[in-house]
């Protein structure tokens, strides 16, 4: 038999702990937690893992609300109460029956791997339940949405009856439906939300964010296994040692014998300890011990020249090293001291290299930061005097009651508990903080509900082309009408502008519907009808959508219908259509970096290094720069308008061939300018026709 079930379980556990790590990162950085939508935003006061609550995966506790999280990496809709979907609803019902409180939220957290019926249609009907007193019935629903609503309510009724022996009231059904929030998260490796939280962590901590992130995930696994909870103080106690000044405030590191790169590559996962034996059978003991447990906490304590291993009696330490080779060098250099002594060697047989654990790697980066921050790397870390002797030890100071430190010490100043890492190295120092002066927290906040266009482009597999930008975007209208599109399968959707269902006057809505119906008729006459893909909420010709691997549904006609808040909430696909986007700023002038008349914008500043290498290979030389961001579509509009006024171009995510030609990327093109040029071309053609005849 295969192990697909085990793999699915592992995938689900990983997804659950990524959500937990995401919450921990917000607690560490003091950020509002809005991963499940603005309506559920809260400051986190406590996280509970695998609790005794009915909804037991994860509970996010805030000052005035509880978010009960069911984490399902993949999930499909079903009408069976005993299905996985039915099990999720059963927990929601059980929580409602046993301990319903004002402000409680039942979160179904999924990934992009969940079915579209869960991510989109179930989300729409639960959103509608919060907006309509009758449980979403007043919202015009498509046939698929009505099917999802019916199946969901039937399963809730079934579980409520089984648990209470009575039928649920319509009010009770409405309250459960309104409490459910469906949230599709992109926390997989390389996902947009993972990248965003890595950016935030990178701005707040003194170790590489990816190592701390991995450590948080591992910590979450341990907490879930032991069914523990932690508050903000516990998060600070566990990870606060890695907090430091933001990257833009970090000092420039002076060249010297100790570099961040050198220290980060040294082993930090175990200790080799030489101690005086407390046992009569031998005089000395040499053993290697793992430094961190699977939750990332230190296993052993060094204090006052002694080590307490695993809670046993303390041993008097003679020396401590990061490798067996270091211990061997000491024994050889002091061979006379051990010539007539009985030395017991206790070597552990470890199945995995402890130096590669997430905790060890994070601690290595932390120590690298400590070492590289010293203004004078030649000053002894104990006495402070200059070091001029050959072969001075490079040590980590890791002893209770002493500040953590890494650097060179005099041989005479070396203490038994100093963890010897090696000798000074002359490796060349490198320090390149690319994302200086960057608003990490602002980026994270803007990314939630942002980049609607670019998310759709990523899913469409389109790699290059124009982006039509309207300078005269209207989001001020409070009209009472909108345009509904009828699909061939009986379903419906609504026209959107920048991801929002636009509110229009009756006349304007009628004009828009007429224009859409003309376009639909023309496309049908050409044999390539305009279609819609409900799973991706994307419009396009039948041939284009089919080529992209979608299952297109032709649109039959457009009609004017009254606008309601429920329609706007349910069918608007994003809060920000373009932003957030990053751009380079000339460090000297403070102006955006312009290359050959073009300004480049990036959807993922975390990937800046890859773009810089690509541009360098294409022969582009950049000035010294910092990185800034456009966080709202209003900022994007002003930025593009000013850039085009100056006669410059804007391109998003450009990658270039060696000759400088564009391989991938999206040109921002003025919609009004295209219309003007088309009118000019038509006028020129019409004016030339008589002469040609």
Residue at 568 is within a domain: no
Residues near 372 by beta carbon (within 8 Å), at least 6 away in sequence? 253, 258, 259, 260, 263, 429, 431
pLDDT tens-digit readout, 532-557: 887 666 788 999 888 877 788 999 99
For residue 413, give the DSSP letter.
Answer: G
In a domain, 682, yes or no: yes
The answer to whether position 251 is within a domain reads no
Q: Are 572 and 615 in contact, with CB atoms under 8 Å apart?
A: no
Mean pLDDT calculated for residue range 57-81: 93
pLDDT at res. 433: 45
Structural domain includes residue 545: yes
The tokens of 588 are what? 């000297």
452 and 351 in one domain? no
Q: Look-up: residue for tokens 């879930």?
A: 224
pLDDT at 587: 84
User: How confident is the model over 121-126, as a mean pLDDT?
Assistant: 88
> Based on the domain organization, do 496 and 515 belong to the same domain?
yes
Give 598-619 pLDDT, tens digit per residue: 999 999 888 888 899 999 999 9
Pair (409, 464) in one structural domain: no
pLDDT at position 481 over 80: yes
Q: How confident is the model at residue 310 (pLDDT cuts 50, 70, 90)?
A: low
- How are strands ordered across the β-sheet holding 649-656? 464-469, 662-670, 649-656, 598-602, 581-586, 625-630
- In this prediction, residue 19 carries a pLDDT of 95
Per-residue tokens: 84: 């996985």
- Domain-located, residue 241: no
CB 434 within 8 A of CB 627: yes
Residue 582 pLDDT level (bands cut at 50, 70, 90):
very high
Across 397-402, average pLDDT: 90
Is the confidence at residue 323, as pLDDT, over 90? no
Q: Is the same domain home to 546 and 606?
A: no
pLDDT tens-digit readout, 31-44: 889 888 888 889 99
In a domain, 254, yes or no: no
Least confident of 17-26, 230-239, 269-278, 438-447: 438-447
Task: Tell me what percent of the residues of the chain surpass a pLDDT of 90.
Answer: 41
The rounded mean pLDDT for the chain is 83
- pLDDT average, residue stretch 447-457: 78
| pLDDT over 80 at 480, yes or no | yes
What CA–CA distance (Å, rounded) separates 543 from 559? 25
Tokens of 117: 């019926």
Average pLDDT over residues 488-500: 87
* Both structure tokens of 245: 């000044």
pLDDT: which is higher, 29 or 245:
29
**pLDDT band at 386, cuts 50/70/90?**
low
Q: Measured between alpha carbons, how far is 542 from 523 in angstroms, rounded to an integer?
A: 9
Print the domain residue range for 40. Answer: 4-233
Q: Nearest 5°: phi and psi at 665?
A: 140, 170
Res. 122: pLDDT tops 80: yes
pLDDT category of residue 54 using cuts at 50, 70 and 90: low
The 3-state DSSP class for residue 199 equals: helix
Last residue of a domain, one of 529, 562, 595: 562
User: 642 and 604, same structural domain?
Assistant: yes
Mean pLDDT lowest among 397-411, 594-608, 674-688: 674-688
Which among 286, 258, 290, 220 has a CA at the least distance from the CA of 49? Answer: 220
> For residue 692, what pLDDT is reported?
40
Residue 247 placed within a domain: no
- Judged by average pLDDT, the poorest of 4-13, 193-202, 337-346, 524-533 is 4-13
Confidence of residue 521 (pLDDT cuts 50, 70, 90): very high
Mark whether 225 and 264 lie in a shared domain: no
User: Residue 626: what pLDDT?
Assistant: 82
Q: Is 505 found in the same domain as 526? A: yes
Does 581 share its domain with 539?
A: no
Cis peptide before 580 (omega within 30 of 0): yes
DSSP string, 510-543: HHHHHHHHHHHHHHHHTT--EEEETTTTEEEEHH
**For residue 375, what is the DSSP state?**
S
Query: Is residue 479 scored above 70 in pLDDT?
Result: yes
Q: Residues 360, 468: one domain?
A: no
The C-alpha atoms of residue 147 and residue 136 are separated, in whole angstroms, by 13
Are 40 and 142 within one domain? yes
Maximum Cα–Cα distance across the chain = 116
Confidence of residue 440 (pLDDT cuts 50, 70, 90): low
311-340 average pLDDT score? 87
Is there a domain that residue 169 lies in?
yes
Tell which residue, 465, 504, 511, has the closest CA to residue 663: 465
Q: What is the pLDDT of residue 665?
A: 92
Q: Burial letters for 558-568: b for 16+ Cβ neighbours within 10 Å, e otherwise? A: bebbebbebbb
pLDDT score at 195? 82
* CB-CB contact of 606 with 198 (8 Å): yes
For residue 196, the model assigns a pLDDT of 81
Model confidence band, residue 223 (pLDDT cutoffs 50, 70, 90): confident
**Stretch among 40-49, 111-120, 154-163 having the lowest mean pLDDT:** 111-120
Is residue 469 domain-shared with residue 485, that is, in the same domain? no
Residue partners of 606: CB distance under 8 A and separation at least 6: 195, 198, 199
Least confident of 64-73, 368-377, 677-686: 677-686
Q: Identify the residue with better confidence: 234 or 568.
A: 234
Weakest-pLDDT range from 11-15, 110-114, 173-177, 418-422: 11-15
pLDDT of 298 higher than 60: yes
Task: Judge whether 554 and 487 are in contact, CB under 8 Å.
Answer: yes
296 near 333, Cβ under 8 Å? no
What is the SS3 string spanning 556-586?
EEEEEEECCHHHHHHHCCCCCCCCCEEEEEE
Same domain for 517 and 591: no
Residue 351, pLDDT score: 64
**For position 424, what pLDDT does the model report?**
56
What confidence score (pLDDT) does residue 691 get? 39
- The stretch 225-252 carries a mean pLDDT of 72
Determine which of 223-232, 252-261, 276-285, 399-408 has the lowest per-residue pLDDT on average.
Answer: 252-261
- The number of folded domains in the chain is 4
What per-residue confidence (pLDDT) applies to 462?
67
């Amino acid at each position: 038999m295969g192990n697909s079930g085990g793999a699915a379980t592992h995938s689900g556990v990983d997804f659950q702990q990524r959500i937990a790590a995401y919450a921990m990162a917000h607690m560490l950085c003091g950020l509002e937690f809005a991963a499940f939508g603005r309506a559920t935003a809260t400051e986190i006061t406590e996280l509970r893992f695998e609790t005794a609550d009915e909804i037991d995966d994860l509970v996010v506790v805030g000052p005035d609300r509880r978010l009960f999280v069911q984490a399902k990496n993949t999930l499909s809709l079903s009408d069976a109460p005993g299905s996985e979907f039915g099990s999720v609803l059963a927990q929601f019902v059980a929580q409602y029956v046993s301990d319903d409180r004002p402000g409680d939220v039942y979160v179904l957290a999924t990934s992009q791997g969940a079915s579209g019926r869960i991510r989109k249609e179930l989300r729409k009907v639960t959103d509608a339940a919060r907006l309509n007193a009758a449980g979403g019935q007043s919202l015009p629903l498509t046939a698929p949405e009505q099917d999802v609503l019916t199946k969901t309510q039937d399963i809730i009724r079934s579980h409520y009856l089984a648990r209470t022996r009575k039928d649920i009231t319509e009010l009770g059904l409405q309250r459960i439906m309104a409490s459910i929030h469906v949230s599709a998260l992109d926390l997989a490796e390389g996902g947009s939300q993972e990248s965003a939280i890595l950016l935030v962590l990178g701005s707040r901590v003194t170790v590489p964010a990816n190592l701390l992130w991995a450590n948080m995930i591992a910590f979450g696994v341990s907490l879930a296994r032991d069914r523990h909870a932690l508050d903000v103080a516990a998060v600070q106690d566990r990870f606060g040692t890695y907090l430091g000044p933001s990257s833009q405030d970090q000092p420039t590191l002076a060249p010297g014998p100790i570099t961040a790169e050198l220290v980060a590559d040294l082993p930090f996962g175990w200790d080799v300890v030489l101690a005086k034996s407390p046992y009569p059978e031998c005089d000395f003991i040499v053993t290697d011990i793992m430094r961190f447990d699977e939750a990332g906490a230190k296993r052993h304590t060094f204090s006052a020249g002694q080590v307490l291993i695993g809670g046993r009696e303390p041993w008097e330490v003679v020396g401590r090293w990061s490798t067996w080779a270091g211990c061997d060098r000491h024994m050889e250099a002091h061979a006379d001291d051990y010539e007539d002594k009985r030395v017991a060697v206790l070597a552990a047989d470890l199945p995995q290299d402890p130096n590669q654990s997430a905790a060890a790697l994070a601690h290595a980066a932390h120590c690298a930061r400590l070492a590289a921050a010293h203004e004078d790397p030649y000053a002894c870390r104990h006495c402070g005097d200059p070091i001029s002797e050959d072969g001075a030890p490079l040590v980590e100071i890791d002893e209770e009651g002493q500040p953590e430190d890494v650097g060179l010490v005099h041989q005479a100043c070396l203490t038994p508990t100093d963890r010897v890492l090696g000798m000074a190295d002359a490796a060349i120092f490198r320090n390149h903080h690319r994302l200086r002066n960057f608003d990490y927290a602002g980026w994270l906040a803007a990314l939630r509900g942002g980049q609607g266009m670019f998310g759709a482009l990523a899913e469409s597999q389109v790699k290059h082309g124009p982006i039509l930008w309207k300078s005269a975007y209207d989001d001020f209208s409070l009209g009472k009408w909108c345009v509904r599109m009828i699909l061939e399968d009986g379903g419906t959707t609504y026209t959107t502008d920048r991801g929002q269902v636009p509110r229009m006057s009756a006349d304007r809505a009628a004009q828009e519907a007429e224009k859409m119906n003309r376009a639909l008729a023309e496309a049908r006459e050409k044999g390539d009808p305009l279609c819609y893909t409900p799973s991706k909420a994307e419009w396009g010709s039948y041939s284009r959508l089919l080529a992209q691997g979608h299952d297109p549904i032709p649109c039959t006609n457009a009609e004017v219908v009254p606008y309601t808040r429920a329609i706007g909430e349910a069918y608007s696909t994003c809060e920000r259509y373009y932003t957030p986007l990053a751009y380079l700023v000339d460090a000297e002038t403070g102006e955006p970096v312009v290359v050959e008349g073009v300004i480049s914008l990036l959807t993922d500043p975390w990937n800046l290094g890859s773009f810089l290498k690509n541009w360098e290979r294409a022969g582009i030389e950049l000035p010294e720069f910092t990185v800034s961001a456009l966080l709202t579509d209003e900022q994007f509009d002003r930025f593009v308008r000013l850039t085009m006024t100056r006669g410059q171009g804007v391109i998003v995510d450009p990658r270039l061939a060696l000759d400088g030609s564009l391989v991938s990327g999206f040109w921002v093109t003025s919609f009004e300018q295209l219309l003007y040029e088309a009118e000019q071309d038509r006028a020129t053609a019409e004016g030339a026709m008589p002469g040609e005849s």
